Amino acid sequence: MDIKELKIKKTEDGSATLFVPELNEHYHSYKGAVRESLHVFIQAGLEELSRARKNIRILEIGFGTGLNALLTLDYTYSDPELKVHYTTLEKYPLDLNLIIQLNYTVHSNNTIRELFSDIHQAPWNLVSEITDRFSILKLEADLTQEIDLENCDLVYFDAFAPEKQPEMWDEAIFETIYGAMNKGGILVTYCAKGEVRRRMQRAGFNVERLPGPPGKREMLRARK
């Protein structure tokens, strides 16, 4: 997959996403980019796991615009005991000039706006301490390659949809993730397709359906 042309689109909650014409695919739900990310990854994932763990290693499949990373960092301010080590994979990094045009921090304070810039300007393939409780490692890769992953507690599975990027939803991918996760770890994804759920189950996960964000009836949460 070669992403050549991207268009900024406003979603229904006022936040922006990117549209890939050659895939006919959005980076986020057109029903609300921020709303979807909060619902799927923060509320069903980070908020759920942080009730039991305060030092959390997150693995994100699909860094994209950096929205999930930003919302995760922002969430650490609501829990002073929480510390996050964030590893994110992205085979097709976006141009910083394009990221600047997105409006994720328009209603945020100056600190959050600066931290979003820090996340994107952090070097690839090196760990960067963004705050004293949030570090990030951005890897220019995907799980179709061999990657030495540290044990993770929480996985944000945010690849393009299975029909657009089928190689990222292969059963072997979920087996790799399962092997890299700590016991009791959680994987969350916006996708609720039956075959995806069955592949997760065959990889060893216990999978539950949850109510999805606006525009989607269901999402999936899997536990090791």
The DSSP bridge partners found for residue 137 are 87, 127
pLDDT tens digits for range 48-81 = 999 999 999 999 999 999 999 999 999 999 999 9
What average pLDDT does this structure show over 122-135?
97
Full-prediction pTM beyond 0.75? Answer: yes
Give the per-residue pLDDT at 24.
81
What average pLDDT does this structure show over 13-22?
85
pLDDT for residue 1 is more than 50? no
Give the per-residue pLDDT at 118.
95
Triad 106, 111, 112: Cα angle to 5°: 50
CA dist., res. 136 & res. 125, Å (int): 10
pLDDT tens digits for range 164-219 = 999 999 999 999 999 999 999 999 999 999 999 999 999 999 999 999 999 899 99
pLDDT for residue 3 is more than 60? no
pLDDT tens digits for range 76-112 = 999 999 999 999 999 989 988 888 888 787 667 888 8
CA dist., res. 18 & res. 10, Å (int): 9
